[in-house]
Chains A and B, each alone.
Chain A
Amino acid sequence: MNGPLVRIRFDGNGRVYRPGETLSGEYRIESVAPDEIKAVEVSVLWYTEGKGDEDLAVHSFWRVSAENGDRSDPPRPGRFSTVLPRSPLSYRGILVRIRWCVRVRVFLTRGREVMGELAFRLGDVPAARAAGNGHREAPSEKATLA
């Protein structure tokens, strides 16, 4: 038997969206019994990747929790829909990358957790390249205490 799995799908199977456009889709939790699910969290978020420490911001967040009397029915898909913001746009830089995604996190009994994630692009900014002379400032030390 396969382990718990989360599948996410966007309506129209779109992957590139414009600011202000509506992002909608559904998620399905597989191989999990209904009474095993304690909570489900659906987030539309962006996070940074690259040289710097990760920054993360949630644009939309929904939580369905058994404690609040909400009941998840795994065989039936859950839906999400949100109007996307005007920024930040998806970006593939050299030191800084900004990625948008829909993340579904399922909290199961006995502290288990399963997560599914589907990336999409907001805007269509092309990947960046280092400028002509490759100007790069050496790392500078800012503080000695973390």
Chain B
Amino acid sequence: MARNFRIVPKKRGNRSTGSKWWGRVIEASLSAAALAVGCVGLVIVLNRVVVPEWRTNHQFVEHRCTVLDARLGEQKTEDGTLCRPEIRIQYTVDGQKYVVWTYSKSWQYSSNRAVEQAILERYPLGPEYVCWYDPADPSVAVLVRGYSLWFWLTLAMPASFILIGGGGLLHVVMTWGKSAERRAAQAQRGSPLDLLDAERAGAGFPCVPAPASVTNSPGTTLSYRLPVVAASGWKLFAAMVACLGWNGIVALFACVAISGFLEGRPDWVLTLCVIPFAGVGVAIIVYAFRYLLLASAVGPTLVEVSEQPLYPGKRCEAFVSQTGRMRVNSLDVLLVCDEDATFHQGTNTRRESLRVVEQAVYHRVEFDLRHGVPFEARFPVEIPAGTMHSFKSDHNEIRWKILVKGEIAGRPSFVRSFPVIVCPAANGSNGKVNGQAS
């Protein structure tokens, strides 16, 4: 035997060794089972909860009754004693007298004894009250109507099974016997959003992100101001939230541990558990404080370019403006291209990134930034000939961006990222003509 039979097949792409036919059969079976469970559950819920509650609210007949007795009905469970209000009423329908214990249609037991007792106190013995009886069976009556929370919760459960099962089954039926290419062709034909994106791209480059995302903000010095990928304000906010959240929880446990020591009853297990978490908390405080220092010293960074989209082998002009109040050891502007891949590993979705182009386009050392006087620089940027254009599909991406990196005296360095769109050259040579940059 040349190779062993795989019990657990490989799952990804062309390396998949599992049977697609069996995969589809199992998918269909699971979807059908979920749909069946949902349908059965829906019938039960309709029969037991929804229809009775609906009938109570719409078909029961209003009437008058007298309260004869009231008590808290009890039910013993593992978690303690549950109770519910039980009120004995008397009413007459068509000359026939009925005496029943009742309250509402759902009539659930609850652990909140005080609330249930308060309900009983609303029904002192003697006076007449409004009640509703079932015209189909006058021996059934209630003192309150309305829909309970259970009404919606119980509907949601079978509905979710029906949606998952039905959707899965529909997907199997729609794609059964169809090749990956046919499904892709049908999906592309039926996706107006893709066509719209292609239109928005303007230049009509499929799978190249629309330049509109980086050209919708005009610049003050050059034509286009580039958006920053991740604003430092949000990072600072996230660092502060993480710092407060983590240390708040750790502080609660630390208080309990310290009070144990003060009372002469130290809890060593709790103390030993709290110490590593407190260490992480200190690290988060240091990180957040460094970020706060950086954010307070480094002002906004602006990057503008003279053209968008850019083309391999073509040059454009760029402008950088940096505000703040600090001593800058070095400021670098880089043109970079990253490959990003998203993949499934087990039940997790992971993302990996690799830099394939990194080109310094501006470098300045040792200068001071003063309040109200921004540092400004203009310089040329050339997309290297023979490089790949921007590309984006569901799981793979090629991203071009301009990075501004600063080294600041006595503070952590900062990096800000500004996306640019690179389109392929019209002849597909990507900036090279006979091996030379055009």
Contacts and interface: CB of A to CB of B under 8 A. Distances in A.
Interface stretch (B67-75, B84-92, B120-128, B383-391): B383-391
B396 A48 contact: yes
A48 B182 contact: no
B398 interface: yes
A48 B205 contact: no
Interface SS of chain B: mixed
Contact of B427 (A19, A51, A57, A143): A19
Contacts of A98: 391
Contact of B355 (A43, A103, A131, A140): A131
B423 interface: yes
B358 interface: yes
Contacts of B180: 56
B424 A50 contact: no
By CB atoms of chain A within 10 A, which of B342, B386, B428 has the most?
B428
A103 B427 CA distance: 25
Interface stretch (B45-53, B165-173, B253-261, B345-353): B345-353
B207 interface: yes
A145 interface: yes
B343 A51 contact: yes
B348 A125 contact: no
A51 B184 contact: no
Nearest to B180: A56
A105 interface: yes
**Listed residue (B14, B346, B349, B354) with the most chain A CB atoms within 10 angstroms of its CB:** B354
Given A58-B181, A95-B352, A124 B428 contact: yes
Given A48-B393, A61-B182, A98-B391, A139 B350 contact: yes
Contact of B394 (A18, A55, A61, A145): A55
Contact of B341 (A17, A20, A96, A126): A96
Interface residues of B, number: 57
Interface string A119-136: 000111110111111111
A87 interface: yes
B108 interface: no
Given A86-B205, A141-B350, A54 B356 contact: no
Interface in A49-86: 49-58, 61, 63, 85-86
Interface of B: 12-14, 21, 179-182, 184-185, 188, 203-208, 336-337, 339-344, 346-358, 386-389, 391, 393-398, 423-424, 426-430, 432
Interface of A: 17-20, 41, 43, 45, 48-58, 61, 63, 85-89, 91, 93-96, 98, 103, 105, 111, 122-126, 128-146
